[in-house]
Amino acid sequence: MTTTPRRASRREQHRVGGTGAKVTTRNTLIAYAFLMPFLILLVVYHTWPVIFGTYLAFTKYNIISPPQWVGLANFRELFADEQFWSGLKNSLKYILIVPVIQVIAILVALLVNRPMKGIGFFRTAFYVPVVTSFAVVGLMWNWMYQQGGAVNTILGFIGLPQKGSFLNNPATALYAVMFVTLWKGIGYYMVLYLAGLQSISPELEEAATIDGASRIQVFWNITLPGLRPTILVCSLLSTISAIKVFEEIYVMTQGYPAGSTYTALFYTYSRAFQDYKYGLAAAGGIIIALISIIFGLINFRLTRGGKVDA
């Protein structure tokens, strides 16, 4: 009994390779010829940065002369650098965006999952910011955030206090940038949640409704648990990109005003490309990577590994 499926899977494996395809030297060479261009570029631009970047963190390097081994000196300099800590703090603050963006994306996905006329238009509209370059998005919001600009006019119109220039005020700048990340990201997560919603069997929800469950009960007990794998993936993606936030900072504020939007990855960028301290920047990169991994694990625990029946 137990051997049958195993044999089948073995046959399957054979079938993937092709029956006539014996493992010959000729075939192997052909296979590697197909793979080679891809593999070479992958090694040069993906594998090498991981290896060399790690090595660089323990060296002093200026591109012209070969790297000099300095041990943990870069890490010591990093931990003594107040700018690094404040960058890290801002990156961690950025994680605040994760629950907000996920809750809104789930609600929006529920809305556009309704079979209503013209729903396709809304799905497309919410996705337009996702396909727009951060260069354009950042500039647009920079203009709208000006003193007396569109955002302030609208705030005044709905009776809220006007804030002056959002990006010149250290108290508001980081949150203003976070709102742009939120605005640009909702459509992306909405599409993923939509796919998640459509994979939940409608029979289950129907059965519960017939058994007298209210809509809210159906949502809490069937829809939300069904979405758990998607929630895991999405919150993981958004936590990691929050810690590594960079493009919006680069376009909108460059870390100003008063360092209030200076994030961890922006620190490594400016150490490398403004101060030419490549080793120090690489050390910063390693610390950011470690923090991302830790938060990834925390996330995994919080969403219980994305198991539906947890």
Q: What tokens were used for 201?
A: 């069997």
CB atoms within 10 A of CB 265: 20
Nearest to 74 by CA among 308, 267, 244, 235: 267
CB of 168 to other proteins, least distance (A): 13
Is residue 281 within 8 A of residue 269, CB to CB? The reply is: yes
CB of 12 to other proteins, least distance (A): 10
CB of 209 to other proteins, least distance (A): 12
CB of 191 to other proteins, least distance (A): 6
Shorter beta-carbon distance to other proteins: residue 80 or 158: 158
CB proximity list for 307: less than 8 A, separation 6 or greater? 228, 229
Shorter beta-carbon distance to other proteins: residue 97 or 186: 186
Shorter beta-carbon distance to other proteins: residue 1 or 114: 114
Question: Is the omega angle on the peptide bond into residue 67 within 30 degrees of 0, that is, cis?
Answer: no
What angle, 0 to 180 degrees and rounded to 10, lies between the N-to-C axes of helices 97-112 and 224-243?
Answer: 140
Shorter beta-carbon distance to other proteins: residue 2 or 130: 130
Shorter beta-carbon distance to other proteins: residue 23 or 216: 23
HSE-CB of 47 using CA atoms within 13 angstroms: 7
Q: Which residues pair with 60 in a beta bridge?
A: 68
CB of 119 to other proteins, least distance (A): 8
Shorter beta-carbon distance to other proteins: residue 134 or 175: 134
CB of 302 to other proteins, least distance (A): 19
